[in-house]
Amino acid sequence: MRIRTAALFVALTSALVPAASAAGAAAPPALSADNPFAAPSTLPYGLPPFDRIKDGDFMPAYQAGMAQQLAEVAAIVANPDPPTFENTALALESSGRLLDRVEKAFVNLNASNGDEAMRKLETELAPLLAAHHDAIGLDLKLFARLDRLYGERAHLPLDAESLQLLVRQHKEMVLAGAQLPEAAKVRLRAYNSEISTLMAQFRQRLLKASADGAVVVDSAAELDGLSPAELSAAADAASARGLKGKWLLVLVNTTTQPLLAELRNRAVRERLYRASVSRGVGGSDDTTVIVARLVKLRAERAHLLGYPNHAASVLDDETAGTPAAADAMLRQIAPAARAGAEREAATIQKLIDSQAAGGHAGARLQPWDWDFYSEQVRKAHYDFDEAEIRPYFELNRVLQDGVFYAAHELYGLNFKERTDLPVYGPDVRVFEVSDANGKPVGLFIADYFARENKQGGAWMDNYLDQSHYFAQLPVIVNNLNVPKPPPGEPVLLSFDDVTGMFHEFGHAMHGMLSDVNYESLSGTRTPRDFVEYPSQYNEMWAREPAVLAHYARHYKTGEPMPASLLHKILAAQNFNQGYSYTERLAAAAIDLALHEVSPAQAPAAKDLPAFEQAALHKAGLDLRTVPPRYHASYFRHIFGDEYSAGYYAYTWSGVLARDTGDWLHRHGGMTRENGEILRARILSRGRTQEPSELFRAFYGREPDVGPLLDYYGLSLPVQAKGHDHH
């Protein structure tokens, strides 16, 4: 059962959700047999029939799916027999199959291949789904049955995974507010409805703000430094908007824009940076009013549920456990990150000063200068630049001889491309994954190119989750946003892109290698501060010398990357990590601060910049030259997606990942034996056991920040050494 927070008042849902109680649900409306969601897909692995899905199919399937699940839950509640695991917990797990089919397809396609109709539908659906999940999550009679089973759990003849399913279902209903008095539940439903609608509105507003914020450039001369492929992409983007003879610099999700590293024109760099940080602030694309309202509503909802703040309510079900624990880990890393960033800033300022005419001091380092000059520092110190290494990182070779190769060496997996299956776009590829013994594992979908109708960033998701109970193998998708070059040109990646491919494939392995009975406990359905852990340790293989040598070959000649250049790339990996970690920690500090407020402390829209600055100052991360990775006005993770009070998860998971890298190198590195241990103890387990317990059982002790600081070259001189530097 997927529980999502959501938005508007329950009255809006009367057309679709006939009662606020699952027990009072009406009979499901009939869904036309020709609707592609009416029955499970008959394609291999249950792959959605992308060639048959139309925009008009979604709403009828959602309507039927919600009504069907309410009827299924009503039958559980109406059962006159005493509650058993089978007639209550297992029946609840089995409910909502139609809704799950349509929801997975819609969420994925809307993110990667959406259109105006889907975006409109997303906003319409938000309050309806909120009311639907509340109708189940707040059903007192359903909770009474689960609560009785939960109270008897010590005496029930359940295997460990079945017991975990029962415990999780009970806790999710408690966290959802099932124990609240009825009057409080009415308020809670209203909160959930409005929050969900506002999140959908934030996503839509941000999409528009990012599009409207793109920088129009009148002459190619102003774009000196960009590659021919980048110039072509900018010209195509402008042409697509009817801006003939101009160039358009499209904004990506983060504060710092990738093109800042290459643009020689400082004024254009400043324009691009200011366009990025001003997204969503004022005008028709303003998101700050939505942000302020969400912060206040989340705080009020947390109080209603008995928590001091929203962060406490979220972290109650995370690996960290409490905001204090998350704050404490960030505080352990922040001084080292800041010190690294300050060292890097001093080096860059020296370079700027040395380039000033007549020996006079040059311009003062600004945020829009950092990437441009740090790239020069990288070249000076390590004697290479991105243009020199890109020819060795052709996308398909990285995928086949890097990403897939590492998975084969570690886990024995094999990948066969399937061109006979329907896809939703010409650049989408599908691979059948099998085990070393030839046993099918699942399908992997690779969607790597940027499109106008695709959300920014990189992500993994499931079209189907693994589940023995449902006899279901996983169908997993990885998304990147690599600019597509002109026809006939090779797809050459930056090393950051390469690392991103390995990262997202780590998520894919977490979902693909799942080996559990129940879908609710499958694969990546773990806490957010654990779900980023397998993806982050999978990044290590991108820079592992044996793997890097295997895939880093010139796209024209096939010649391996020269050993000297390979060595420079590896030596340069700790470069700029002070900046990188400071910007991420700063975003996490803003997120936690916004969600640790009481309702009375929630900032107004106009006060958000000052609130952010105060949070950064308190965390020791208020560096003028290192902006946070996201400001609140375009912080999609926490205001458009489900990562509120959870952005710290990337750092928490990073600690676990680097501890794992340290363990792997102490035990022989990339071997099938180590891969099998990871698979057996982490990747196959989903949430069949609490993740903190899984990690301790694997690592042998509590997480340690030392390997992370060493890995990124951030260890402070006063800290003891002794960790492996791989």
Q: Which of 416, 417, 440, 442 is nearest to 429 (CA)?
A: 417
Q: Cα separation of 65 and 97, whole Å? A: 8
Which is nearest to 501 in space by CA: 466, 455, 551?
Answer: 551
CA 405 – CA 414 distance, rounded (Å): 9
Query: What is the SS3 assignment for 472?
Result: strand
User: Residue length, the chain?
Assistant: 726
Asked if 589 and 617 touch (Cβ cutoff 8 Å), the reply is: no
Helix axes 370-382, 323-355, angle to 10 degrees: 70
- Please state, as a whole number, how many other Cβ atoms lie within 10 Å of the Cβ of residue 564: 9
DSSP state of 393: -
Cβ distance 136 to 67 under 8 Å? Answer: no
* Contact call for residues 344 and 333 (beta carbons, < 8 A): no
Beta carbons of 423 and 417 less than 8 angstroms apart: no
- Amino acid identity of residue 70, one-letter, is L
- Non-local CB neighbours of 53 within 8 Å, separated by 6+ positions: 36, 105, 109, 424
Q: Which two tokens stand for residue 74?
A: 């009503």
Three-state SS annotation for 77-117 = HHCCCCCCHHHHHHHHHHCCHHHHHHHHHHHHHHHHHCCHH
504 is catalytic: yes
Read off the tokens for 158: 């359940």
- E strand segments, 530-622: none
Q: Could you tell me where the DSSP H helices lie in 358-466?
A: 370-382, 386-389, 395-398, 404-411
Give me the phi and psi of 644, to 5 degrees please: -60, 135
Q: Detail the DSSP E strand segments found in 228-377.
A: 247-249
Q: Which of 504, 519, 544, 612 is catalytic?
A: 504
Both tokens assigned to 695? 């990690």
> Which residues are catalytically annotated?
504
